[in-house]
Structure 1
Amino acid sequence: MATDLEEVEALSVPVFQVQSAPPALAGWVTRLLTPVVAACRLRRAYPIELRPTGCWAGWALAPEYAPDRRVSVSNLMLYRSPRALVTIYLHELAHQIVGADHDHDAQFFATNLMLLLRASDSVDVDVLPAGGALAEMGLYDIQAPPVELQREPDAGVGRAVSWAISVAHEFAPKAMTAEDAAAEICARYAAWILQLEAAPAKAAAAAAARAQAAAAAISTAQRLRRVHAWMAVAAVTVLAEAFMLLKFAFGGA
């Protein structure tokens, strides 16, 4: 079991490790992440558990395994840079606050980017990507675009990322907590998926309506042509009769 190494003040980030870690290490990680938590407007501080592994950079532990909803981060991140540790921590936090039944999809991408955007507005630039918040995002973070878009040439990645970027920039400046913003983002994502699912039927109905309108237009045009033809025949007949009347009138004179 992981051990709580150091109790820190409210809203600071508790630090755990599988084996005992020096208090100096726990204190450094806490001082690094606590302003990030505040900048992201998280309702609570999610503990970080340092694990001696090189197989993965981070992992969001499921509530059944860690009721405190801690995130695990590889010890190797400590030797890379403060930026790497902050980025991995926010990535795993995004998994935690998005909740169950998601993958690296557009709702996750939007939530992760929102956290990075909030942190970039308030935290020392040394712990954030030089190219801006989006510089830390990549195709790894959007592995599951909507199924409804996967027939597109880019498998739907482009539209999914565009949707996520737009939503992240909408919610990043809002005063609401990160958890509330994530819930809104997930609701918005569910509504978007419903729109995508309904799109084929809507397109088919629109195509049928266009076809019906085109057929009606053709039928109307055909009727007009017949009317014009009859009108032309009638006009010729009238002119012929008028000519004959004039001829008889002048001939009789």
Structure 2
Amino acid sequence: MRNAIDEQHGGPRRLVGPLAALDGRLPGPHDLLLMQCPSSLRPLGGGELPGWARAVLRVHPWVTVARAPTVVGSPVDTLHPVRCTRDVASPEHWIPVTVRGPRRGQLLHALAPWAAVARTFRPEQLPARRALLVPGRVAEVPALALLPTVGELVADHRLTWGPIGAVGYELGSGVPVTGPLSPLRLVLRAPQPVSRRDALQLRRALSRLRVPVQAELETRHGAVLLAEYAAAPLTLTLLTPQGPQEVHDPWFPRGPSGRTITR
């Protein structure tokens, strides 16, 4: 039987325990995580969670995966990590995450233990959750109302996509964080090269929508802004877990030494 918490978040949670860290791939950038034990988060700057973050996580224990390296073992400043489960035999994976605060731009960067994650959502799973929002919510927020139109435009280019940022967070968590002027941020899965012509066509189509749209192409090596790629500059900024890198080709990136950048 499904309980009230399962209904609230759209389905049963993952089993949290020693095997939870071993049941599939680790989350990637922009994934949403429902934390079983929010107190296990560790701020990247060290110390304890600030009061506003503890208050937010008590009510809405959702965090967003950041584009940064995963840490294996225990954070260096944590002698005795707070855990939700008994110790696992293999080293813990700590996922880089961001906690969204109640004020605009209020963010906390932290590490979350993978074994304490109860549920995950990838961006491409989120458009279908629009129907779960409270009645009237979609009509109030153009960025939410336009999701089917965006899906049609992206489908013409055979790309898997999903909303990220505030819109993605609201669809996954159900927390009403978007407003009438909220922009729409998208991730476009592009494991294979996209032509400049297709990128330019898609950018122009998205720019005609009545809300600002920022899309990023996610390659196997990182992400590049759709608008920047479509403009065909000599070099592009590739966003990677190790930080931004200047490259000529986001699908076959090369570093300053000429060597191919590997993940």
Computing the radius of gyration from Cα coordinates, the structure with the larger value is 1
- The TM tier, using the shorter chain, reads under 0.3
Whichever structure has more strand as a proportion of its residues is 2
State the TM-score, normalizing by the size of structure 2. Answer: 0.23
Whichever structure has more helix as a proportion of its residues is 1
